[in-house]
C-alpha cells in the first residue's frame, strides 16, 4: 500500500499547480468570484495562486510537506468561508457552488490526512 502513497501525493498536488497557474493567467475569472469583503482584489488572487504553486511544488518534491499541507488546508478553509458559503447564501447557481464547496472540503480533508501521515512518519523516524 505504501507504494501507492507517492503516486497519490503527486496526483493530489498537481491540480493545485494548475489552479495556481490559472490564478495568474485567468485573473479576471477569479476576480469575478471574490466577495466584496475580500481585500486587495487582484493582489489576493496573485497571492493565492503563488501559494498554491509553492505548496504543490513542496508536496511533489517532498520538502516541508507537513507545513505545506497545513497551509493548504488553511487556504481551503478561507476559500470555503469567504467564497463558497457567501455564494451559497447569496443564491448563486447553488448546484455549482455546492459542488465547489464539497470539493474544497474534501481537498482540505485530504490535505489534513497527508499532514497527519507525515507527522506519524516523522515520529516513527525519530523513535528509531
Q: Is 62 left (phi over 0), alpha (psi -120 to 50) or beta?
A: left
Taking 90 as the threshold, does the pLDDT of residue 39 lie above it?
A: no
Q: Which residue has the higher pLDDT, 32 or 14?
A: 14
- Mean pLDDT for the stretch of residues 22-27: 93
Q: How far apart are CA 116 and CA 5, in angstroms?
A: 13
State the distance between the two ends of the chain, measured CA to CA, in whole angstroms: 22
Least confident of 63-67, 81-85, 87-91: 87-91
Read off the DSSP letter of residue 58.
H
Cα–Cα distances in Å, from 127 out to 26, 114, 118, 120, 122? 47, 20, 14, 11, 9
CA–chain centroid gap for 49, Å, is: 10
**pLDDT tier, 32 (very low <50, low <70, confident <90, very high otherwise):** confident
Taking 90 as the threshold, does the pLDDT of residue 118 lie above it?
A: no
The count of domains in the chain is: 1
- Mean pLDDT for the stretch of residues 41-62: 94
pTM of this structure: 0.86
Closest CA to 113 of 29, 3, 5: 5
**pLDDT tier, 11 (very low <50, low <70, confident <90, very high otherwise):** very high
Local structure of 38: helix, strand or coil: coil
What are 89-101's pLDDT values in tens digits? 887 688 999 999 9
Domain that holds residue 71: 4-127
Amino acid at each position: 500500500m505504501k507504494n501507492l502513497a507517492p503516486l497519490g501525493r503527486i496526483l493530489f498536488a498537481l491540480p493545485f499547480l494548475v489552479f495556481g497557474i490559472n490564478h495568474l493567467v485567468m485573473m479576471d475569472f477569479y476576480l469575478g468570484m471574490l466577495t466584496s469583503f475580500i481585500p486587495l482584489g487582484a493582489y489576493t488572487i496573485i497571492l493565492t495562486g503563488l501559494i498554491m504553486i509553492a505548496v504543490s511544488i513542496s508536496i511533489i518534491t517532498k520538502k516541508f510537506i507537513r507545513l505545506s499541507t497545513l497551509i493548504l488546508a488553511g487556504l481551503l478553509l478561507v476559500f470555503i468561508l469567504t467564497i463558497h458559503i457567501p455564494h451559497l447564501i447569496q443564491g448563486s447557481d447553488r448546484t455549482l457552488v455546492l459542488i465547489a464547496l464539497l470539493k474544497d472540503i474534501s481537498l482540505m480533508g485530504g490535505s489534513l490526512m497527508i499532514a497527519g501521515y507525515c507527522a506519524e512518519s516523522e515520529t516513527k523516524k525519530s523513535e528509531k
